[in-house]
Chains A and B, each alone.
Chain A
Amino acid sequence: MTRRTMIEAIRDAMDVMMSRDDGVVVFGEDVGYFGGVFRASQGLQAKYGTSRCFDTPISELGIVGIAVGMAAYGLKPCVEIQFADYMYPAYDQIVSEAARLRYRSNGQFTCPLVVRMPTGGGIFGGQTHSQSPEALFTHVCGIKTVVPSNPHDAKGLLISAIEDPDPVIFLEPKRLYNGPFDGHHDRPVTPWSKHDLGEVDDGHFAIPLGSAAIRRQGKDVTILAYGTMVHVAETAVTETGIDAEIIDLRSLLPLDLDTIEASVKKTGRCVIVHEATLTSGFGAELCALVQTRCFYHLEAPILRVAGWDTPYPHAQEWDYFPGPARIGRALIETMEA
């Protein structure tokens, strides 16, 4: 066990996998010599050489495009898109190519690649460094979408993602890189060294994709969240005193529907929280699944708390961000329904 930040845990996962499997290669913009703008790949080029960890031209479509070819050859590329907001030029390569290669070639060619990308806001990044595009991936057949909420999970999930035989989108909530974020931007940052989940197992360990974690047991209402919002929801629960069960989904596709169903059937209430914009967000899918599975156990309408349907603003970041107060209001509303 070592105390690690989320960035250190992610780096450790890549390090562990690069040392176990010489087919694992890491590349992206500023990823090689410098080690990435968030330093996720720091030291990997020095340790494994330039053919295992290298810088690329600024072309997201090129990065994912060569990764598809490399994965088809038999390597396991783990590439970085510097910010999820920059992935759109690569979207065609992800949707039309990586996701469908196994299917359309009937398994002759496969695409075991991981696309890591920092996601979400809370860092005053404005509209080009704050987006949460997970729903654009969960809507695509043939890829898996993972969002960790802490260093321990980030390492175990990234190892699973690299070992997975299919393409995985690995969204890293950048606001969590250096510490859990309670949703109060005006309070001092807590470091991961003071959080239980900053304790990360050493060496190789994998958390299976498609297993949720119950972060808090509760009996009154189920909160479905992932990434940064897991911690923000914890704050809202503390502040309202409502006995909520918090489920950290960890993997959106595959989705641990059994854990969700069991919890909502127990509590009879459900609040879904995500940072991405509301309309057609992943919350809509969760809402549909929960009402289908749990309709006769529900005591109140399912509520969603999400980013407003606007581009991610700069100055109004904390008006946009679905913080503890908004989540708290939803919890109270659902309890009073």
Chain B
Amino acid sequence: MPDHDLPHDTMSPRREVAQSPGPEPLKLHVPEPAVRPGGTPDFSNIRIPRAGQVDRPSVDVDPESIRDLAFSVIRVLNRDSEAVGPWAGALSDSELLEGLRHMMTLRAFDARMQMAQRQGKTSFYMQHMGEEAVSCAFRKALLPGDMNFPTYRQAGLLIAGGYPLVEMACQIYSNTHDPLKGRQLPVMYSSREHGFFSISGNLATQYIQAVGWAIASAIKNDTKIAVAWIGDGATAESDFHAALVFASTYRAPVVLNIVNNQWAISTFQGIARGGSGTFAARGLGFGIPALRVDGNDYLAVHAVAKWACERARRNLGPTLVEHVTYRVGAHSTSDDPAGYRPKTESDAWPLGDPVIRLKNHLIVRGAWSEERHKQTEAEILDTVISAQKEAESYGTLHSEQRPTARDMFEGVFAEMPPHLRRQRQEAGV
């Protein structure tokens, strides 16, 4: 099995020559990343195929015949910023420009909210830096009524789906206009209307729920599909494996996404991946078609998303998609990556920056320019700031304007049972 995309060889146990006829003492193998803080970032042994190299099979292909896709990387944008190969060509100039705006909006929003957290306006934030293409591009392959079961780093699904920035900020600030009444940690959004399932905050639990939602859709002979999201680290949870079993058994109309951003807080992806070569390869044992895609290539993510969603819609069953990307920022506002990886590692990441790559592609297409980009950046910042200001007019976490203590007691059940009513009375609210 190829091991091309690992920081270094984490799979083969060291062999030592036996000194005596008896068995050698056993040794524990604990995978380590290639480089730690102070070292020079090195991704040289990550094998990245040239853009356009990977075939695009038909969606009803026999999964057995495309097992190699679990070990390659589907890419569309080449070094000259051209869209090449069989996965290119699905998006128009205006669609690509819209995608660029979505990613830029997400990035600007992240920067403002990150700052707001530092200013004490909320308790916590999680940004997407480097991963914007994954959720923004995937969203454009979905239809109204489809349901995402996201993690905390797919807010691009909301932004690309037209969810108001003000509502996002109100949720983050837990203010009087927070659609979730202050009950959830910042960024754990929920919007049924926008096909965005309530984020639990517990990892992996929702992967299997997405499969259940998809099974329900099939039971009702509906046409909607479900989309599951998980990070590289959380694939180690039992929920991930249960999801693959159930999706495989019932051929559920679901797309199973793994966002491999290389880091699970401080734990490098080799700890969760173990000896399987790639995360996508996990799907092979279940007979689930498994694809790897350049997660920093908006066009590639969109093309793979379309392919996988079409399989689901045509009742051909689940698809596993590993998005190969890099978490440029910290895990959250409570994390500092300087403690576990070289500071310049993100600069060395070989798949580049998703926003810059799409911008350059649009310039090559003649649909964009540096000047228009700068201008748009400024416009987007204005939009984000005005949304932020509106949200702040409804309060921030530690201000007086926040959900009431009475709201705390509501919504545990459809109808408040007597014991909660007594407790609410006791609380005097």
Which residues of A are at the interface with B, using a C-beta cutoff of 8 A? 25, 51-52, 56-57, 59, 61-62, 65-70, 72-75, 89, 92-93, 96-97, 100-110, 141-142, 144, 165-166, 210, 253-255, 257
Given A65-B212, A70-B212, A104-B184, residue A57 in contact with residue B219 (CB < 8 A): no
Bound-state CA distance A142–B415 (Å) is 11
Q: Which of B181-206 contact A (CB under 8 A)?
A: 181, 183-184, 188, 190-192, 197-198, 200, 202, 205-206
The residues of B that contact A142 with a CB separation of less than 8 Å are 412-413
In the complex the two chains form, is B419's CB within 8 Å of A255's CB?
yes
Given A66-B209, A72-B197, A102-B411, residue A108 in contact with residue B190 (CB < 8 A): yes
Bound-state CA distance A180–B417 (Å) is 31
The residues of B that contact A141 with a CB separation of less than 8 Å are 412
Which of A66, A109, A257 is B192 in contact with, Cβ under 8 Å? A109
Bound-state CA distance A56–B249 (Å) is 9
In the complex the two chains form, is B202's CB within 8 Å of A96's CB?
yes
Min C-beta distance of B255 to chain A, whole Å: 14
The residues of B that contact A103 with a CB separation of less than 8 Å are 183, 411-412
Chain B residues touching A, range: 35 or more
Tell which of B2-10, B109-117, B239-247 binds the partner.
B239-247
In the complex the two chains form, is A166's CB within 8 Å of B208's CB?
no
Query: What 1/0 flags go to B202-227 for Cβ under 8 Å of A?
Result: 10011011111111111110000010
The residues of A that contact B211 with a CB separation of less than 8 Å are 65-66, 69
The residues of A that contact B206 with a CB separation of less than 8 Å are 97
Q: List 29 A-B contacts (CB under 8 A).
A: A52-B219, A57-B246, A59-B242, A59-B246, A61-B238, A61-B239, A61-B242, A62-B242, A62-B243, A62-B246, A65-B205, A65-B243, A69-B149, A69-B208, A69-B210, A69-B212, A69-B214, A69-B216, A69-B226, A73-B217, A74-B216, A74-B220, A75-B219, A97-B200, A97-B202, A102-B411, A105-B198, A106-B190, A108-B190
The residues of B that contact A59 with a CB separation of less than 8 Å are 242, 245-246
The residues of A that contact B219 with a CB separation of less than 8 Å are 25, 51-52, 70, 75
Bound-state CA distance A210–B415 (Å) is 12
Bound-state CA distance A108–B188 (Å) is 13
Bound-state CA distance A51–B190 (Å) is 29
The residues of B that contact A72 with a CB separation of less than 8 Å are 197, 209, 212-213
Beyond A61-B208, A68-B209, A74-B220, 17 additional pairs, beta carbon < 8 A: A56-B246, A57-B246, A57-B249, A59-B242, A62-B243, A65-B209, A65-B246, A67-B212, A73-B212, A75-B216, A97-B209, A104-B184, A104-B198, A106-B180, A106-B181, A254-B418, A257-B418
B414 within 8 A of A: yes
Closest 9 CB pairs of A and B: A69-B212, A66-B212, A65-B208, A62-B242, A69-B209, A105-B198, A73-B216, A69-B213, A165-B414
